[in-house]
Amino acid sequence: MPWADATGKDRATGDVDVQAAPKGGDGMTELIKSTRVKTAKNHQCFGCLVVIRKGEHAASETYRVDDSIYSIHLCDDCDEFRKTLPKGYWGDEGGYYEGELALAKELEGWSE
């Protein structure tokens, strides 16, 4: 995963498509905003790493982690799947890592 600053911009290339992990260090992870969007450009699903194509619908979330702000997108499949998980399984205990939901779906036997 490329390193991104608080705006989600890749420090090495300046690419603004970088997905920054909302998992915090010692601080708290706080969900600031959660909305459904129709994407204006391609994004990578933070949950399973698939490409969400321009014009598709997705969940868009903004988090505060320590003193930084991060935004992520989730494909419809990941957004629906995480709602089936028990509290604390994914996201409720301080955040989650990029691509982590793909493994969780496999472990839970989730099929699209």
* 1 domain residue, yes or no: no
**Whether the predicted model's global pTM rises above the 0.85 cut:** no
* 19 domain residue, yes or no: no
Percentage with pLDDT > 90 across the chain: 33
pLDDT at 106: 82
Helix (H) or strand (E) holding 107: helix 100-108
The CATH number for 57's domain is: 3.30.1740
* 101 domain residue, yes or no: yes
* 10 domain residue, yes or no: no
Q: How far is CA 69 from the centre of its chain?
A: 13
Domain holding 76, by residue range, is 29-108
* 56 domain residue, yes or no: yes
Between 23 and 38, the higher pLDDT residue: 38
Mean pLDDT is lowest, of 13-22, 65-74, 103-112, for 13-22
Asked if residues 26 and 94 have their Cβ atoms less than 8 Å apart, the reply is no
